[in-house]
Amino acid sequence: MTSAVSTTDRHSEPRGRHRQRRRAVDVLFEAEAKGVPATDLIAERREVFDSHDAVGEMSGYAVDVVEGYTGDADQIDALITSHLKNWTFERLPAVDRAILRLATWELLYARDVDVKVVLDEAVKLATELSTDDSPAFVNGVLDRISVLAPQVRAAGTGE
């Protein structure tokens, strides 16, 4: 029997949030590959889910992240680009771009998620989904971006 109360892990993160992040990465990756807005894919999947639940419901944190990123895509991509060393944004593996997009949005706007958790989760996703070199690369880029997170988060709350 499952409890209606959200269970948390050692990072005070709701269980299942990793799965939601992975889902968001999948949507961002697919949207780029197809050249369509990620929010269109969410709408498409919701339509299919209404008649056939095999695609899985599009809701929760995955949707929040995708919609959040989409609203600030140009700024987030520019920020990532400005923090790359010896790489161009276009040369990155597409899955790494999707992970960096997700994590950068979280670093800047997900005030309920600790910066360390964002970095750990991004590295975990890179380990699961990308090349052997990607976890260290993603960690390095996000570590540089994370320096800005406190100021952006504070500005967002008017502190």
What tokens does 87 get?
A: 């790489």
Neighbours of 109 (CB within 10 A): 19
Contacts 24+ apart (CB under 8 A), 54-63: 56/23, 58/23, 58/27, 60/20, 61/14, 61/17, 61/20, 61/21, 61/24, 62/20, 62/21, 62/23, 62/24, 62/27
pLDDT at 155: 86
Distance CA 64, CA 105 (A): 10
Kindly report the pTM of this predicted structure. 0.84
pLDDT at 141: 98
pLDDT in tens, the chain (159 residues): 333 333 333 344 556 899 999 999 999 999 999 999 999 988 887 776 655 555 556 668 999 999 999 999 999 999 999 999 999 999 999 999 999 999 999 999 999 999 999 999 999 999 999 999 999 999 999 999 999 988 888 887 665
